[in-house]
Structures are given as C-alpha cells and as structure tokens.
Amino acid sequence: MAGRRLGLGLDTGGTYTDAAIVDMNTLEVLAKGKSQTTYHDLSVGILGAIDEVLRSDAYDRADIQFVGLSTTLATNSILTGKGGKVGHIGIGWTPMAEYRSGADMDAYIKGGHGVWAQQIAPLDTEALEGSIDEMQAEVDSFVVSGHFSVYNPAHELEAARMIKKRTGLPVVLGHHLTSQLGVPERSVTAVLNARLLPIISDFLDGVERSLKERGIDATILVFKGDGTLMNIEKARERPVETILSGPAASLMGGKLLCKEDNFIVVDIGGTSTDIAYLDDGFPRISKEGATVGHWRTRVRAIDIWTVGLGGDSHVVSDQRGNFRIGPERVVPLSVASASNPEIKERMNATSETNYYVHVERGTTKLSPKERSVYEFVKAHPICTLEEIRLGNPEVYTYRDVVKHIKDRGFLQMTGLTATDFMHVQGHFDRFDVEAARLGVQFMANWCHRSFEEYVESFQQEFITRVGEEIMRKVVLDESGEMPSGPGFNYLLRSMVNGNSGSSISSNTGLDRPLVGIGAPTHIYLPPLEKRMNVRVIMPRDHDVGNAVGAVCSQISETVTAQVFPNMDNLFFVLGPFGTPVTYGHVEQAIGAARRQAEEYVRNKVYEAGAENIRVRSDIYENKFYGGDNVEGEQTAWVDIVARATGDPAPRVKKG
C-alpha cells in the first residue's frame, strides 16, 4: 500500500530505546522495535531501534513523513553537568548569597524594569561591555536575564545586540523561554538551555545524518516536556524544553492508544515508574515548572510522580523475605551474562550476584585513586567489591570511591532485578534465563524459601509497590502534601491489599482508569484492578506507547498576558511582546492583550513547524474587595491565557 501518511516515533528511555512506525491517520502501529539505550552516545541506541523497525516489510519507508523524537539527553546532561561553558549577565537584580545560576561566569549590572514595566535604572552599557570582554574568551555562549524582562524585554534585547556585535557567540534571553515571573528560576532555565546548545546540536546532527543514510526524508520533530512537539530548528534553539519529554510522551501515547481523555497513566520502564494524570485530554502541568536534580526551572512540563521502581531496579531481601526494590539501578544478571558468559561460573563459585564492570570513558576527570579503581575493574571485568579492595590496598575508602565513580557512570554493578524474575517466570526470554535463575536461587536459599515461593512473594511485593506509588500520586494531587512516616506507609499498603495478616481491611476506588504503558506493565498493573477497585486498561502496543506518543502529538505554545490598573485609572498590558502600552478602559486593555497574545502564540507555533493552526484564549479576572470607601469587588488584575495548537507540517519533498 503506497501513499500512506506514516510517522516514526523514537523514545530513549532509561534502559531501552523504543521505535514504532505509526499510521498517522488510523494510529495503527505497523512495526515496532527496541534497542538498549547507550548512555555514552544515545544515537547508537536510537540507530539500533531504527534499524530493527526498518526490517519490517509492512510499509514503504518512502511514506514516512514525520520522525518524532523523545530523548533523555537534556535531563541526563543536566544531572551529570555536561555541556558548553556559559557566561550569565543579570540586569537589574542581585542574587542571594547562596544562589547559583549554573553558569561558569556571572556578572550583575545595573538596569532592569519594575512591576509596571517601567525602567528602574538605565542599562549600564559600560559595565556590560566590561563583562562581555571578561567572559568572551572563556565561554561558548551567553545568557542575559533582566529584572521583569517578561514585562519589558528592552534591556535584554539591547544587551543581546551588543554581545552578538562584540563576540558573535550565541545569546539566550530569559524572556524567550518563559513568560513566568521569577528571575532566579528564569535565569537558571536560560543557563541550562545555553549549556545544552552544543550537546543537542551534535545529537540532532547525528540523527539527521543517520536518517538520511537510511533513505528517510521526513520532518523531524522533538517532543517537549509538556506533551507537545517542536521542529528540529526550534529544538536546537530551546533544548531545555525537552526536560521530562520521555514521561510526557508516555502520557500522550497512552491517550492515543486507549482513546480515553481522563485517566492515570502508569509507565513502568527499566529504570523508573512514572505516574501522571490526563484531564479532558490534556496533561496536568506543573505550576512551578520542571525540577531536574537541584535545579528549579521555569520549563513548562507535565506534573509527574517518578519513583526508582523498574525492571532494572536492584532487588535485595533479608532472611525473613522482606524485599527492598530500588531505587538503585543495576545491570540485570540475565543481561550481564549475555555479554559476559563467565558470570555464571563466577556466581557458582562465589554465590555472589554483585559484580562490577567498567564503562568505556575518558578518565581525565577522575582523581588518581578513582583512576586506579577504574583501571583495575577495566583489567579485571566481573570483579567483586572485595577483589577491588585487595587490588587497591592504598585506597582505604574504596567503598566510597567505587560508589562515587559508579554514580558518575564510569562503573556498572550487576545484581538481581525484576527483569531477572520476569525471565524465570517466562515473561521475557531476550537474555540469559539460566543466569537469572541462578541469582533467584541464591536469594531464595538465603531466605530459606523454595524457589517458587520466593518468586511468587516478589511478584506480589512488586504489584503492591506499584499500587502504593499510584496512591501516593493521588494523595499528593488531592491534598497538595505528601505525608510520611511508618503509619502512613502502613495505611497505603492496606489500601492496595498489601498488609497480609493485618487487622485492617480497607477498600479503595479511583474515579478514573489506570492506563499501562511500558513493556513490564502488563505483568504488574492488571492485578491492581481487583485490589484497588479500579479499571485497568492495557492498550495494544503498550510496550512502545512512549514512541507512539513521541510522533503523534501536536505543536502547541501557551502564553499569559496580564492587564493591571494603576493609580491614574489607566490599564497596562504586560507580556513578552515588547514595550508595554496603556489604555484608558479595561475592556480596551483586555482586547489589546488578547490580540497580542493570540498573535504571539500563532507566530510561535508557525515557527515551530505547524499547519492548520487553532488559537483560543481564556480570560481570568482576579478581584478584591475595595474596603470601606469602595462598594463591591474591584479588579486587581486580569490574566489572558492564549494557546495555539497546530498539526506538524510535512517536509516538502525535493525533486
């Protein structure tokens, strides 16, 4: 069948990279593939998944019009401190002593604007020139972040003009990335974006080149953390917006596959379980912006609950059979044995399941002791912690050193995982079942349980843990707080039928179904239907639901304009559009704000590669009581929220 409108969806998860070929009209998945995510170079895993899905003869690759990409690259780069060097210039504000922008060099100069968008002080061009000259030889890009620049960006724009004229380097402006207030968070967002520019550019260059080599001439779209898309050009400019794109793709993929508009998606992957709400077809968006590591940003992203509970979570138990699952991620024994067959012989000899292997990386950033440990593991693959101690007698704090370089990605540790249990249960057979069986048997012997009893006990515990985390998300969203302590945890377990032998028997129920996404979800989610009195939906192709979501969403932009009255009975229109304008009547101001906001988002989605653009705006009036001398309510300010949405436009084929 020729002439179909097809999309290739790609999602790089914590453990696997998924690919799916989707008929964009019927949403039918025509082919799917998986490849292990390669952290040293994500493009390797992506190409593995692409090549696997291209083997199918169920379609003509010439019909692929769109490629959608959801990537962990931005999140991982931020967490590991990778990226280009950034010079940050703050205008009109001075940070608190403990504040860190994330930049390599900072300068704060006079200028900036006030709450009414009025100029507080002239831009100090002399100080600006001095800061530029001091930084330009040391950085790869600049960030400019002015006080209240979302209401009046004049000083940011002038500073950018001067930087480009004197250096020619890229400049990221705070007001371009968000219309929200909060200059410290806005500055962090811009700095992280600038740091990611060279990383995302190299990555997308590789993807573009590889697709071309495989005869795929399609529009490349990148998934954002709020569940929408942008074209590859915008992704190069605003890579920070791809934070949390993976969980967002899972949510939107769930919507498309199950054809429901109100549900809780539960995505069980290799590294984590992600839980999020969809309301009336739209994801719940975090009010404060995405947080990555210790960086609070103003990136618009879905409100998600993430816990280190997945197929590759480390499973340990005490002699009474009490399990601890995660949050540490390890290499499953079944996976490790596929590339290191000698591990089974070592396991039989040592009754040990935790071994260390090196990850091929440059060691220039390692200290001498760290390099010594790394080189030992490289020379002695599949070694135990005790062997590392004996081989490095001068490293007295060997445990801390091993943990530190493992956390930084130089070493990996093997261990018993849910993936191994799934292999011995017959759910998966992709890797070495015998190695998984050995590991489970060792732990069953340790707990003085039969093999079958130990496997069933783990199965029930994992189901309970998933149910507990769903209830944590529900409690957090409904109450706004997350209680803690053994009493609360005990009640959570009883709510998902996890307290066997308890004197408490409680029944629960949810007002919306649970939708499962991710390869292991069909094993652990359906049992909660009876336990929690909730409908569970396992859509077809749920194992690649995130890849489906990565290509089948829409391009969208949202902006908020505000109308404020002043003491002279005039009304300001404030927003990231340019110089503020005043009006004599509130209706005039609201009308002007609406027109500007709608035009702004329409242009944004057009630039991001959209066609068939739809625009809507909503008005929210915030009132207060005027007091003793004023009757009735008075307008404090008015929010005008404009949202434009469009379909991705296909690339015009040459020739």
Whole-number Å distance between alpha carbons of 595 and 584:
17
Give the helix/strand (H/E) hosting 9. strand 6-12
Nearest-CA neighbor of 552 among 249, 176, 329? 249
For residue 278, report the phi and psi dihedrals to the nearest 5 degrees.
-120, 125
**Percent of the chain's residues with pLDDT above 90:** 49
What is the pTM assigned to this prediction?
Answer: 0.81
Say if CB 70 and CB 249 are below 8 A apart: yes
Residue 507 has pLDDT above 80, yes or no: no
Q: What is the mean pLDDT of residues 396-418?
A: 90
The predicted pLDDT at position 634 comes to 61
Beta bridge partners of 414: 331
Q: Which amino acid is residue 578, in one-letter code?
A: G
Cα-Cα-Cα-Cα dihedral sign, residues 176, 177, 183, 184:
negative
Crossing angle (nearest 10°) for helices 368-379 and 398-407: 80
- Parallel, antiparallel or unpaired: strands 64-70 and 219-223: parallel
Whole-number Å distance between alpha carbons of 288 and 297:
8
Whole-number Å distance between alpha carbons of 8 and 443:
42
Q: Which amino acid is residue 291, in one-letter code?
A: T
Q: What is the mean pLDDT of residues 614-619?
A: 94
Q: Say if domain 6-79+199-308 classifies as CATH 3.50.50.60.
A: no
The predicted pLDDT at position 182 comes to 86
For residue 365, the SS3 value is coil
- The per-residue DSSP string of 271-289 comes to S-EEEEEEETTEEPBPSS-
Nearest-CA neighbor of 508 among 489, 490, 524, 495? 495
Residue reference for tokens 């800061």: 131
Residue 619 structure tokens:
């008005």
For residue 158, the SS3 value is helix
Residue 618 structure tokens:
């909503």
In words, the CATH class of domain 83-194 is alpha beta
Whole-number Å distance between alpha carbons of 99 and 105:
13
Residue 38 structure tokens:
């390669």
Say if CB 269 and CB 521 are below 8 A apart: no
- The per-residue DSSP string of 90-131 comes to EES----TT---S-SEEEEES--B-TTS-BSS---HHHHHHH
Lowest mean pLDDT segment, chosen from 70-79, 435-444, 500-509: 500-509
Whole-number Å distance between alpha carbons of 136 and 80:
24
Residue 1 has pLDDT above 50, yes or no: no
- Is pLDDT larger for residue 177 or for residue 143? 143
In tens, the pLDDT along 296-351 reads 788 888 888 888 899 999 999 887 878 999 888 899 999 999 888 899 999 998 88
The residues, ordered by sequence, that sit 6+ positions from 470 with a Cβ below 8 Å of its Cβ are 264, 266, 275, 496, 514, 528, 532
Cβ neighbours around 633 below 10 Å, total = 11
The predicted pLDDT at position 226 comes to 87
In tens, the pLDDT along 113-172 reads 987 778 899 999 999 999 999 999 999 999 999 998 888 888 999 999 999 999 999 999
Residue 632 has pLDDT above 70, yes or no: no
The predicted pLDDT at position 633 comes to 59
Whether cis (ω within 30° of 0) applies to the bond prior to 327 is yes
Residue reference for tokens 């991705």: 648
Say if CB 329 and CB 273 are below 8 A apart: no
Beta bridge partners of 292: 295
The predicted pLDDT at position 107 comes to 95
Cβ neighbours around 491 below 10 Å, total = 14
Whole-number Å distance between alpha carbons of 260 and 281:
8
Whole-number Å distance between alpha carbons of 126 and 47:
50
The predicted pLDDT at position 3 comes to 66
For residue 113, report the phi and psi dihedrals to the nearest 5 degrees.
-130, 170
The predicted pLDDT at position 221 comes to 92
Cβ neighbours around 549 below 10 Å, total = 32
In tens, the pLDDT along 522-559 reads 999 999 999 888 999 999 999 999 999 999 888 998 88
- Residues 261-283: b if buried by 16+ CB within 10 A, e if exposed: eebbbbbbbbbbbbbbbbeeebb
Nearest-CA neighbor of 546 among 43, 34, 58? 34
For residue 650, report the phi and psi dihedrals to the nearest 5 degrees.
-70, 155
The residues, ordered by sequence, that sit 6+ positions from 394 with a Cβ below 8 Å of its Cβ are 369, 372
Q: Is 52 exposed, middle or buried (0-12, 13-18, 19+ CB in 10 A)?
A: middle
Say if CB 480 and CB 473 are below 8 A apart: no
The predicted pLDDT at position 560 comes to 87
Say if CB 361 and CB 410 are below 8 A apart: yes
Residue 173 has pLDDT above 80, yes or no: yes
Domain boundaries, the chain: 6-79+199-308, 83-194, 355-413, 555-648
Residue 288 has pLDDT above 90, yes or no: no
Helix count and strand count (H, E) for the chain = 21, 28
The residues, ordered by sequence, that sit 6+ positions from 644 with a Cβ below 8 Å of its Cβ are 556, 557, 598, 601, 602, 604, 605, 610, 613, 614, 615
Say if CB 299 and CB 287 are below 8 A apart: no
In tens, the pLDDT along 217-251 reads 999 999 998 888 988 988 998 888 888 888 889 89
Q: Please determine whether the domains at 6-79+199-308 and 83-194 fall in the same fold group of CATH.
A: no
Provide the mean pLDDT of the chain. Answer: 88
In the 8-state DSSP scheme, what is residue 372? H
Residue 510 has pLDDT above 80, yes or no: yes
To the nearest 10°, report the CA torsion of 587, 593, 598, 599: 120
Residue reference for tokens 């950085």: 139
